[in-house]
A and B are shown apart, each in its own frame.
Chain A
């Protein structure tokens, strides 16, 4: 009985404060700086309880942008495995969704959904901060559902 109560409180607390991990896997930084712009006072993701963390073991939502280069692929897979369930993977930008303008480059591995299951796609090159916010909101909804 007590255990159920504790579990319910923890779940409620977790839902209200999702932690993000942002990884740039070989893009031009355009998506990265728009993601950082989402942190700053004008677009402000912190009002939704979101916090950007660097440790995969503490994160709930993975924000991945960039076309995956061959050199970074093993690290990317390891980060995915180190993130605990339930987790939501968000592919930000054209490069993560479909390799974008680098589709026939020699150093790029497949788009992100060939490497890991992706839950939310945010298109754009780079997507506007408003679009990123909308995508992250969708990710939060999905994540709350996964908690049920």
Chain B
């Protein structure tokens, strides 16, 4: 950019505590008037050094650590971790354990998607839809509590299988709740697709072109909303996904609405998978776990799964002791946030910033204030969430 253009630009740090989303991140937004010209993403406010911690704990302690990498997708982290260690040993887990793990993972996908709908509605100013979706999300958490005893951090997976069984006498109750969720899903599909206000705030916004998706390693529903058919559950099947009939949802438009609709239809697919698993469970043998060694000999292995936000990748190296030599975790949000925001936000209006950032479903939490700096005159103006919300309402 030329010298004079830079001076005309405002640089807006949307700091770590900001009004948009759950979690701290810092975006240095370069503005020309109200149009975003460029964005620098500054993350790391949630970095706790987990990979280093994992080298100092043994394989069983690491299960609890893996669970607490993220509270929204804690189940997938434990399952991917356990799968990676099982690959190191060369262990095959019992059939029932595979079905139970699939049930937990799909329930987690459901609650994560409902959370996303609520937050998207909240960003657009529709508080009622936020309340409705989170109330429906409670039904999913009820099922999880029936199975595992907890709403968050279920503690179900272990190396070699699962720790608890699904109570078979409560399966009809769970299926009733899933029917209720399916009806609500159809209602939200209608609301998000046909409501004029929502369409105005989401159609054609935050476009992600198809050819940039693979180049920038963008994964998950964000990639599927831009026409790229990529889903680890179909590409590199694990657990029982290749035994059940279900579809990958892909949309071509690549805007905010496409990202919402992909997730809505994924809710229906998840319910399909869940019902199939719950119906198959009573007919399976009762073994939940096989014994796994405490000390693992030198080896290396990988494990790839589909978290609610995209492809999750674990790489483990063992060294003959009871502690891993190296455990590498690459989460989908890391790539999606760092790589896609620069593309999505160029040329968009400042008032649309919260909606576009929330639409990639970043796995963070935040609520902050924002400082506008006029680079030319050096004048500073501190504004807050109320200012951004007023901007949104004026639009």
Give bound CA distance, A75 to B363, whole Å. 20
B363-A71 in contact (CB<8A): no
Of the listed stretches B12-20, B267-275, B278-286, chain A binds B12-20
Is A123 located at the chain interface by the 8 A CB criterion? no
A54-B367 in contact (CB<8A): yes
- With beta carbons under 8 angstroms apart, the residue of B68, B138, B367 that contacts A28 is B68
Is B369 located at the chain interface by the 8 A CB criterion? yes
B135-A41 in contact (CB<8A): yes
Residues of A contacting B364 in the complex (Cβ-Cβ under 8 angstroms): 29
Q: Mark B35-68, 1 if CB is under 8 A from A, else 0.
A: 0000000001111111011001000000011001
A-B pairs with CB below 8 Å: how many? Answer: 127
Is A92 located at the chain interface by the 8 A CB criterion? no
B68-A30 in contact (CB<8A): yes
Of the listed stretches B70-78, B180-188, B242-250, B320-328, chain A binds B70-78
Is A104 located at the chain interface by the 8 A CB criterion? yes
Is B152 located at the chain interface by the 8 A CB criterion? yes
Q: Mark A46-77, 1 if CB is under 8 A from B, else 0.
A: 00000011111000000000110101100100
Interface size on B, residues (CB 8 A): 47
The secondary-structure label for the interface of chain B is: loop
Is A105 located at the chain interface by the 8 A CB criterion? yes
Residue of A nearest to B141 (CB): A37
- With beta carbons under 8 angstroms apart, the residue of B18, B53, B115 that contacts A102 is B53
B68-A125 in contact (CB<8A): yes
- With beta carbons under 8 angstroms apart, the residue of B15, B49, B68, B71 that contacts A33 is B71
Residues of A contacting B141 in the complex (Cβ-Cβ under 8 angstroms): 37
Which of B19, B45, B65, B368 has the most chain A CB atoms closer than 10 A to its own CB?
Answer: B45
- Report the 10 A-B pairs with minimum CB-CB distance, sorted nearest first: A30-B71, A54-B385, A40-B134, A29-B71, A24-B365, A54-B367, A32-B365, A55-B384, A28-B68, A107-B49
Residues of B at the A interface (CB closer than 8 Å) are 15-19, 22-24, 44-50, 52-53, 56, 64-65, 68-72, 74, 115, 130-131, 134-135, 137-138, 141, 151-153, 363-369, 384-386
